[in-house]
Structure 1
Amino acid sequence: MESLRPYLLSLVLLIATAVLLMGFFSKNKFVVEGRTVLLTGGSQGMGRGLAKLFAQKGANVVIVARDVKKLEAAVEYIQSSAKSPQTQRFHFISADLTSSSENERIVKEVTEWNNGNPPDIVWANAGYSKPQLFLDASIESMRNQMETNFWAATYLAHTTLRTWLTPSASSPKDGSAVPTKEPLPRHFIMTSSVAALCGIAGYAPYSPGKAALRSLADTLRSEVQLYNGSRHYLSSSSVSPPPVKIHIVLPGTITSPGYVEENKTKHPVTHVLEEGDLVQTEDEVAAAAFKGLEAGNYMITTQFLGHAMRVGMLGGSPRGGVFGIRDLLFGWVIGVAWLFISPDMERKVWRWGRKNGVQSGAVKTYSK
């Protein structure tokens, strides 16, 4: 028994450490009550679901889209879910997000509306998909989808991070300002798609923009650590500016007006590849995204298939779970599964083509 004492002591310490870690990781890392949120693409679909959830959790919300009538209806819908209707504030801005100057205007207008303070949380959620075979899609269609799905988020990230992180001319350079209280972090979030994680026939005009967002998020997550590490240089007050966190959310299929539009141009073989995929409502995907954010996750998927695709494509992105062990183990399983899934997907496309031909406006090839 005496010889086992060191091992028992080690086991007790290990369990105590695990309990502490579980308590640490269960803490809400995405506090929104009383904070101001800027959300693009907020008039319908996932964006409307997110705005509603922000309202339910006590945030002040500004939504951005193009259509004023949809924005007015969405604000009324969101306000009805407010946790504290007497104190929460809501606003909308009509803008073309594919313009860099419009994104600058949006952030400036929200800052003025928020009593001179920039928004605490900015979510680049605007996007759309017009799925087609690559040869059927026009260059204009592919460029437009890249503009909305990648560049709109990039413009918003650029102006937001400059607003949050650029030091003023009067900031001290000697590091003498010492923080007295750690402020809540600011969050910049981008909505990508599981289509960024796996090549699927029929999504060539859409997937590249969403994949580029994933790469941008990885890069920004690395770069903001430079600013987070030197925050005490960025303010002349005794309190450092808030740290900045980057997140990316990759949902799957969502029931929405956008989904209805997608299906108007989607090739039949794309439907075959998506058979059996889980379809989420705007409220379900919003709740799943919040769950990941509140857990402090960086890359967030919203259903099991998305989780599997994410761990299979992490590369240099951070892994989730305590010390990343959960995703590491899951990734091993999915790595084996892809030995069977990938060839099966390719066979489905090949067999569909052999049976039905291409059925493409660009290439008329049919089997006999």
Structure 2
Amino acid sequence: MSFAFESADNFWLYVCAPVLVAFISLPIMRLFSSKNHFPVNGRTVVITGGSQGMGRALGKLLAQKGANVFIVARDVGKLEAAVEYISAAAQDPQSQRFHYISADLTHSSENIRIIDEITTWNNGSPPDVVWANAGMSTPQLFIETPIETLRSQMEINYWAATYLAHATLKKWLQPLISPPSSSDTKATITSSSSPSLPRHFIFTGSSVCYVGVAGYAPYAPAKAAMRSLCDTLRSELNLYTGAIASARKSSPSSSSASSIPPEIKIHTITPGTISTPGNLYENKSKHPITHILEEGDPVQSEDEVARVAIKALEKGHYLASTQFLGEAMRVSALGGSPRNGVVGVRDVLFGWVCAVAWLVVGPDMERKVWRWGFEHGVEGKAGTA
């Protein structure tokens, strides 16, 4: 079936009507979004990649909100300085606790060690929030990137987060997956009369997981895989959430409350360009055409990204960007991912607008890449536009 706009007036009607509906809906949406879905006061939060950049800024803001913060990275000197920086922002220095651990997250065994050590440090309780924030980008053209770099980019940007998610979720869900006793065919589950607050596992993705951008072939696929893992885990965790709800219903007054794990929430935050040391490192290997494609993109400070990310979590968002351009990319590429807003209305309406916009933006991006090749050939000085 073919469809065509009968006139330019009709075209703009179809484009502007969703925008108008979205603005009308905003006050209604605010009525349903006042609850804080991400309380952290008195809770223990783990942040990987926490010694600098976005991770350090997240630690500071969470400390200001009353969290106990545990950061993970490789460089001990940077970790010590970051803990001092984060702890100085504590809401209540007398009661809040701060610590760090040095580890190479690209080894699965290290992630298990981290969660075990944090559980011990946290008086035998697993952490309440785990944020897989560690990562780095080495942007280059695909065929000019050594195979070793392609592999290492996947290791730090996908596998490190996957190992951490695996170790964390096994720890959190242990009461449900423990081996059955010899007298029963399945593990015994007890319940609590007052269920705990949900635990949160958060991935730091990237806006390049939504849209292909020339020069990000070593990095973007890892973040796209991370987003897919997040979607899959969100679906899969319903199995355990259902088992928890059933257990609570069947024995609401059980005295063995500690054996029932809290509900688990999964999220991905997808920032764009952040003015951090990591961004300076990226620019050393970035092809000129990548700079051209990113011209005009908003650049956020690490504190701004942290603020917007945590605000999105407090609203209960599952998949969130940290600036308008990233949001446009997100709603244009949601596929089967859950929508934000009241029953997803905001994302659906915004997605209609962006779908029309991509009729112009997409070809324009491809034309810029073609023109660079036509005018300059393939080679260009890395790190300059």
TM-score in terms of structure 1 length: 0.89
Separation of aligned partners in 2, 1:130 and 1:108: 31
Q: Which moved more, 1:352-361 or 1:61-70?
A: 352-361
Q: CA offsets, 1:264-299, max 9 Å, x none?
A: 000000000000000000000000100110000000
Pair 1:141-2:149 in alignment: yes
What is the aligned partner in structure 2 of residue 5 from structure 1?
Answer: none
Moved >6 Å (runs of 4+)? 18-21
Separation of aligned partners in 1, 2:312 and 2:146: 37
Per the alignment, do residues 129 and 20 of structure 1 end up closer, same or farther by CA in structure 2, a change over 3 Å counting?
closer
Per the alignment, do residues 19 and 266 of structure 1 end up closer, same or farther by CA in structure 2, a change over 3 Å counting?
closer
What is the aligned partner in structure 1 of residue 5 from structure 2?
Answer: none
Instruction: Kindly indicate whether the alpha-carbon contact (under 8 Å) linking 2:192 and 2:255 is maintained by their aligned counterparts in 1.
Output: no
What is the aligned partner in structure 2 of residue 302 from structure 1?
Answer: 322
What is the aligned partner in structure 1 of residue 209 from structure 2?
Answer: 196
Structure 2 alignment gaps of length 5 or more: 1-25, 249-253
**Structure 1 residue 178, shift from structure 2 partner:** 4.5
Instruction: Work out the number of aligned pairs and report it.
Output: 344
What is the aligned partner in structure 1 of residue 126 from structure 2?
Answer: 118
Instruction: Kindly indicate whether the alpha-carbon contact (under 8 Å) linking 1:48 and 1:74 is maintained by their aligned counterparts in 2.
Output: yes
Separation of aligned partners in 1, 2:81 and 2:33: 38
Instruction: Kindly indicate whether the alpha-carbon contact (under 8 Å) linking 1:36 and 1:114 is maintained by their aligned counterparts in 2.
Output: yes
Separation of aligned partners in 2, 1:50 and 1:134: 32
Per the alignment, do residues 341 and 103 of structure 1 end up closer, same or farther by CA in structure 2, a change over 3 Å counting?
same
What is the aligned partner in structure 1 of residue 68 from structure 2?
Answer: 60
CA RMSD of aligned residues (A): 2.1
Q: 1:287 aligns with which of 307, 315, 330?
A: 307
Q: CA offsets, 1:75-117, max 9 Å, x none?
A: 0100111110111100000000000000000000000000000
Pair 1:25-2:45 in alignment: no
**Structure 1 residue 355, shift from structure 2 partner:** 1.4
Separation of aligned partners in 1, 2:326 and 2:301: 15
What is the aligned partner in structure 2 of residue 184 from structure 1?
Answer: 197
Equivalences for residues 325-340 of structure 1 within 5 A: 325-340=345-360
**Structure 1 residue 352, shift from structure 2 partner:** 1.3
Q: 1:272 aligns with which of 292, 299, 303?
A: 292
Q: Which moved more, 1:19-28 or 1:245-254?
A: 19-28
Pair 1:223-2:236 in alignment: yes
Give the AA of the match of 1:356.
H
**Structure 1 residue 176, shift from structure 2 partner:** 7.6
Q: CA offsets, 1:170-220, max 9 Å, x none?
A: 899698844311310000000010011110000000000000000000000
TM-score in terms of structure 2 length: 0.86
Instruction: Kindly indicate whether the alpha-carbon contact (under 8 Å) linking 2:231 and 2:337 is maintained by their aligned counterparts in 1.
Output: yes
Q: 1:49 aligns with which of 57, 62, 66?
A: 57
Q: CA offsets, 1:210-257, max 9 Å, x none?
A: 000000000000111110111154998146421000000100000101
Separation of aligned partners in 2, 1:20 and 1:281: 31
Instruction: Kindly indicate whether the alpha-carbon contact (under 8 Å) linking 2:51 and 2:78 is maintained by their aligned counterparts in 1.
Output: yes
Separation of aligned partners in 2, 1:288 and 1:133: 31
Give the AA of the match of 2:264.
V
Separation of aligned partners in 1, 2:211 and 2:144: 20
